[in-house]
């Protein structure tokens, strides 16, 4: 929440600066900032509501925190019931000062999720024009296929970065490529661990990224994004920073098609061994 606890006109200026750079998708979740960030974004958007037509707003639901926003919740848990999904969307729309979400995601897999019930909730929200498209976040390949069987899914938002290679081998990215559903990537810089972690893996990866960036005249940050963007599933990384210079470093990766040998060098730095 501290990331957004600045004056509404400053939040608006940041939104406009993003749009000026061609960045038009804004990723939210109902729980971010203790159920507060959507309201802060909506306050800024209300200062210039015409900007809504130039952007895509994404939100996520399905996690229930122990919080005054949900006073009946006794312990943190997942909830993908129709009632909760619909109520969460209604809350997000009010907070964001908008009449629709361009994309709604289920935030986490729910062991008790009823795929048909979710599909019914999504269909009702689409009929009402409150949700335009639907997807998931952090779903396994099988979980994705379960829900995809009853309602179209636009994306799977997953964690992936050079310190976390599982999506390359667990079928997640293979599925995304096969279905042509571009994955969205959260924590593309490993929450900053690419730059700060002292373990051997992080040090090797940092060195490999630095060498790749230096050879290309780019920063380590840009190299990390270019490594992700090189994958044929055409991933869409989420830049989780309010700093515009961080956004510019990410955008610089769009003009860099990393050579396969360089890509594999970073992979080898992460695994600590060569390819089989």
Q: Which of 244, 170, 174 is nearest to 18 (CA)?
A: 244
Q: Which residues pair with residue 56 across a beta bridge? A: 25
Which one is catalytic: 32, 35, 78, 225?
32
Three-state SS for 236?
A: strand
Residues 136 and 150: their CA atoms lie apart, in Å, by 13
Classify the C-alpha dihedral 158-74-28-81 as positive or negative. positive
Strand pairing report for 63-64 and 236-237: unpaired
Specify the DSSP class assigned to residue 182.
P
Q: Which structure tokens are listed for 182?
A: 């571009």
Q: Where are the beta strands (DSSP E) in 85-191?
A: 103-106, 134-137, 156-159, 184-186
Residues 89 and 95: their CA atoms lie apart, in Å, by 10
The yes-or-no answer on residue 35 being catalytic is: no
Name the percent of the chain in helix, strand, coil, to the closest 5: 50, 10, 35
Taking a C-beta distance cutoff of 8 angstroms, is the pair 121, 85 a contact? yes
Which residues are known to be catalytic? 32
């Amino acid at each position: 929440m501290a990331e957004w606890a600045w004056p509404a006109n400053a939040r608006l200026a940041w939104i406009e600066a993003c749009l000026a750079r061609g960045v038009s998708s804004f990723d939210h979740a109902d729980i971010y900032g203790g159920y507060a960030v959507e309201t802060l974004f909506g306050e800024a958007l209300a200062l210039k509501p015409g900007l809504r037509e130039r952007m895509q707003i994404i939100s996520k639901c399905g996690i229930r925190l122990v919080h005054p926003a949900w006073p009946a919740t006794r312990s943190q848990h997942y909830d993908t019931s129709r009632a909760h999904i619909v109520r969460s969307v209604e809350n997000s729309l009010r907070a964001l000062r908008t009449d629709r979400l361009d994309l709604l995601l289920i935030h986490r897999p729910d062991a008790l999720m009823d795929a048909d019930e979710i599909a019914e909730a999504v269909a009702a929200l689409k009929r009402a024009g409150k949700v335009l498209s639907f997807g998931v976040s952090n779903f396994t390949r099988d979980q994705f296929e379960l829900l995809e069987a009853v309602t179209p899914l636009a994306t799977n938002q997953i964690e992936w970065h050079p310190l976390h290679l599982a999506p390359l081998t667990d079928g997640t990215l293979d599925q995304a490529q096969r279905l042509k559903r571009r994955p969205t990537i959260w924590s593309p810089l490993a929450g900053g661990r690419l730059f700060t972690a002292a373990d051997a893996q992080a040090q090797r990866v940092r060195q490999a990224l630095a060498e790749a960036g230096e050879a290309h005249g780019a920063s380590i940050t840009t190299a990390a994004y270019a490594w992700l963007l090189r994958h044929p599933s055409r991933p869409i990384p989420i830049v989780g920073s309010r700093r515009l210079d961080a956004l510019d470093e990410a955008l610089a990766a769009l003009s860099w098609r990393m050579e396969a040998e360089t890509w594999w060098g970073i992979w080898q730095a992460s695994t600590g061994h060569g390819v089989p």
